[in-house]
Each structure stands twice: as C-alpha cells, then as structure tokens.
Amino acid sequence: MKKIYSLLNKYVQSINECNLELAREIWDSEDSISFIHPLGYEDSFEEIKEHFYLGIMGNLFSKRDLKIKMFRQNFMTKLLF
C-alpha cells in the first residue's frame, strides 16, 4: 500500500509542478496507455505530456494545488459464501 501511496504522491507532485521529468517516471512510455480527463482522452505518453500536462495543466491553470484528501484501500482477506 505504501507503493501505491508513493505513486499517487508523485502524480500529485507532477501535476502541481507541471513536472514532465517526474511524469515520465510514473507513466509508461509505451503507446499502449490511455488517460481520460474532464477535457478529453489521451492514448500515449506523448499525448498526455502535450495535451494534458503542457496544454491543460500548464496553459489553463496559473496555479495547481492538487491534493490527496482521502486515501483508503480495503483488502478482502477472506471470501465468504
């Protein structure tokens, strides 16, 4: 669970700083990824970088302050029938 939380924190930091180097660390660079956001759909890291990070986050927002408010993961240890 620490790895998931760490990954989420890196994502938040990459958005808030519009940090493309950090984004490269968390996104797969293969063309087999996709990302849906309120203003569209991206289907490669290059599109995510150009359209989401630079286009939307970099140009539309003068300040970015994404935060993780609640992080909770439930694991089912036993399945009862």
CB-hemisphere CA count at 13 Å for 20? Answer: 13
CATH number assigned to the domain covering 2-60 = 3.10.450.50
Output the pLDDT for position 11. 95
Q: How far is CA 11 from CA 17, 19, 78, in A?
A: 10, 10, 32
Tell me what the mean pLDDT of segment 47-76 comes to: 86
pLDDT band at 81 (very low <50, low <70, confident <90, very high): very low
* Residue ranges per structural domain of the chain: 2-60
Q: What are 4-29's pLDDT values in tens digits? A: 889 999 999 999 999 999 999 999 87
pTM equals 0.78
Output the pLDDT for position 50. 95
Q: What are 69-79's pLDDT values in tens digits? A: 877 766 555 54
